[in-house]
Each structure stands twice: as C-alpha cells, then as structure tokens.
C-alpha cells in the first residue's frame, strides 16, 4: 500500500488537504431540476460544488442511505441502486471539476490535479439484503465505504438504537467485514451498539473508521463514543470524524462553534490528535451550528482550531491527513 505517497504529495506542496468522511447530499440529487443542482450554488442544502470549493474540501465521502422503514425488509437494495445512479449522473456531468475515486491511484491523481475527489459510501448494511454477493456488486459499482447499521438491528449487527439489550456482530456481519477488508472497502462503525462496535474492532484486519460521531465525555449522547471506545479505536488504528450535528455537540442550549471545538480538544488531550478527522453529516442534519451553516464555512473551523492552540501540522492531520492516511491502508492501489 502506498499511503506514503498521499502523505508526501501533501507535504511537498505544503498544502492542507481537507477530507469530509460523511454527508447525506446524494438524496438531494433526486430532486426535480430547478430545486437543487450539485454544480451550482443552491439556497437549500449544505453541500454543492461551489460551496465545497469555498470550504476548501478536497475529498468528500457521499453516503447513500437506504434505512427508512419503507425500504425494509426489502427495497433497500433497489433504493441504493437508484441513488448510485443519481450519484453517477451528477458526478459525470462535471468531470472537469470532480472525479469519483475508487482506488489510491485515482485518489492521488485527483488530489494532485486539484479536482474534488468523491468517494461513494453506503449507510446501512440493509443494502445487502442478506447476500454477500451483493457486497461485491456494490463494490463493482464503486462503493468504497459502508456503515454496517444505522441505529436499528439488521442482518449484520445491532445498532445503537436497539438499547441496553443490544447484541453484536452476527455471523453474516463478520463475513461481511472480512470481505470488506479483502476488497478494500472502509468499515464504518458509526451508529453501532457498543457490543457491535467492539466486535468490529476485533474482527476487522483494516483500520476501522467512525465517520460521524463525537466524544461522549463532552456530550453524553448515545451516538457518541465513550473514552473506552475512543481508546480502543485509537489503538486499532482508526479515526473518528467529528460531527457537526448540534445534539451530538452539546446538551446545553445555545450551541456554538466552541462546543464543537471542545470535542477536538477533549480527544486530542486524552488520545492524541492522530485519530481526529471530520464527518460533517451535512445534508443529513436538520439543524446546524451557528457559524458552520454549510460546508463553505469550514475556514471558521480551521480558525477555531488555531485559536485553541493546535499547531499547523496537527491541523493538517485533523482536517484531512489522518483520514487520508487510513484510507491509504484500506483502498487498493489500482483497479475498479
Ligand atoms: Zn448517520
């Protein structure tokens, strides 16, 4: 694996590469023409190409979500395929400025060429409808990351919403994780029950990513990771994408950017800066933090990190370096 190359490229250019591990923007791609277009600036939503540019984003992970009750027990795969098609069309319409990346070679070329790199992911193993072969099909269609569950129980594992009696990874879930490791698909442990979370860390031979969650030590929400989980994730080599969703940020009224910065500081002080990444959850959240209303406001986050005393090298790693390093250990060098 040549994860070193990505590292060198950014160092040689002395450039900060910004990577966001999770957004739900794809559902906007289904809107009728005139209501939303990825390629122009919109009054709705949090992400489009002009605003990604202003935010300085170089890699955006785009998640397909298929877990609404109307798609289960069957229909999740069809929904996933429909959204994959919308994603492919929308990205294909502007190949001068954006490229879908499926391996390290494409990622490196895209980042060096100054285009936006787009990585396709799925949120919810419901998409597999219980068939391991479907994982391969989705891989062939470009999927390079998958969150095993949303909050519910599915064929792979229990989600965090199942409650205190929640179990862990199923036999099928273990098979899926092994196959994801082999194929070079990111294993996303967001939304998992604690037992599923630890099962995944133990079972995955590649670093595990939690693309969007915060520290429970700062905001005690069921979707955030407690200190034991953070330590285990760090020791496994994984990353946590700090999420901009107000309920994960503070339980106090009047959420602001400082509350979000508290999560970066808390994790950095206890577990180091090496596991910190970004996972905005833009277009999947109904409320935003004032000053971080959409992706174009990301420079405010950088300014906040400087104000909190992080040095430029730490900030470079937090904004994208850590996530890119982990991706370098997961994705294959070449191939489709
Ligand atoms: Zn989510």
| Tokens 């860390």 -> residue | 201
Residue of 196 and 94 predicted with greater confidence: 196
Residue 336 lies in a domain: no
User: HSE on the CB side for 285, CA within 13 Å?
Assistant: 24
Give pLDDT tens digits for 193-218.
Answer: 999 999 999 999 999 999 999 999 99
Ligand 1 centroid, distance to 316 Cα (angstroms): 25
Average pLDDT over residues 169-187: 98
Ligand 1 centroid, distance to 301 Cα (angstroms): 21
> Mean of the per-residue pLDDT values for the chain?
94
Look at residue 62 and tell me whether its pLDDT is greater than 80.
yes
Give pLDDT tens digits for 288-335.
Answer: 999 999 999 999 999 999 999 999 999 999 999 999 999 999 999 987
Give pLDDT tens digits for 126-146.
Answer: 999 999 999 999 999 999 999
Average pLDDT over residues 222-240: 98
d(CA 160, CA 166): 8
The CATH number that applies at residue 124 is 3.20.20.140
Residue 126 lies in a domain: yes
Beta bridge partners of 215: 225
Q: How many structural domains are present in the chain?
A: 1
Look at residue 12 and tell me whether its pLDDT is greater than 50.
no
d(CA 124, CA 67): 6
- Cβ pair 252, 259 in contact under 8 A: yes
Ligand 1 centroid, distance to 60 Cα (angstroms): 15
Residue 242 DSSP SS3:
strand
Confidence label for 3 from pLDDT (cuts 50, 70 and 90): very low
Ligand 1 centroid, distance to 97 Cα (angstroms): 27
Confidence label for 1 from pLDDT (cuts 50, 70 and 90): very low
Residue 173 lies in a domain: yes
Residue 335 lies in a domain: no
Ligand 1 centroid, distance to 331 Cα (angstroms): 22
Ligand 1 centroid, distance to 23 Cα (angstroms): 8
Ligand 1 centroid, distance to 191 Cα (angstroms): 7
Average pLDDT over residues 74-84: 94
Ligand 1 centroid, distance to 12 Cα (angstroms): 35
The two structure tokens encoding residue 290: 């004032």
User: HSE on the CB side for 12, CA within 13 Å?
Assistant: 8
Range of the domain at 269: 3-330
């Amino acid at each position: 694996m040549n994860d070193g190359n990505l590292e060198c490229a950014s160092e040689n250019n002395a450039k900060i590469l910004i990577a966001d591990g999770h957004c739900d923007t794809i559902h906007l791609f289904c809107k009728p023409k005139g209501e939303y277009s990825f390629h122009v600036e919109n009054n709705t939503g949090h992400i489009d190409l002009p605003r990604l540019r202003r935010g300085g984003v170089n890699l955006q992970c785009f998640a397909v979500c298929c877990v609404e009750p109307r798609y289960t027990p069957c229909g999740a795969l069809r929904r996933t395929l429909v959204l994959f098609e919308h994603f492919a069309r929308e990205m294909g319409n502007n190949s001068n400025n954006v490229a879908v990346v499926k391996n390290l070679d494409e990622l490196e070329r895209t980042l060096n060429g100054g285009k936006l790199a787009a990585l396709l992911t799925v949120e919810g193993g419901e998409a597999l409808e219980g068939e391991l072969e479907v994982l391969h099909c989705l891989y062939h269609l470009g999927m390079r990351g998958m969150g095993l569950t949303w909050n519910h129980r599915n064929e792979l594992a229990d989600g965090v919403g199942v409650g205190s009696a929640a179990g862990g990874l199923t036999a099928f879930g273990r098979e899926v994780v092994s196959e994801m490791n082999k194929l070079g698909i990111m294993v996303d442990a967001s939304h998992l029950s604690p037992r599923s979370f630890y099962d995944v860390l133990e079972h995955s031979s590649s670093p595990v990513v939690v693309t969007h969650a915060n520290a429970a030590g700062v905001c005690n929400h069921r979707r955030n990771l407690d200190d034991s989980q953070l330590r285990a994730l760090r020791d496994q080599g994984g990353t946590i994408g700090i999420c901009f969703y107000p309920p994960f940020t503070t339980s106090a009224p009047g959420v602001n950017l400082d509350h979000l910065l508290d999560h970066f500081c808390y994790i950095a002080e206890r577990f180091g800066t090496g596991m910190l990444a970004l996972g905005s959850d833009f277009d999947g959240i109904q409320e935003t933090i004032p000053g971080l209303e959409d992706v174009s406001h990301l420079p405010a986050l950088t300014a906040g990190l400087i104000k909190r005393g992080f040095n430029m090298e730490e900030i470079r790693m937090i904004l994208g370096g850590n996530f890119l390093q982990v991706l370098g250990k997961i994705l294959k060098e070449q191939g489709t």
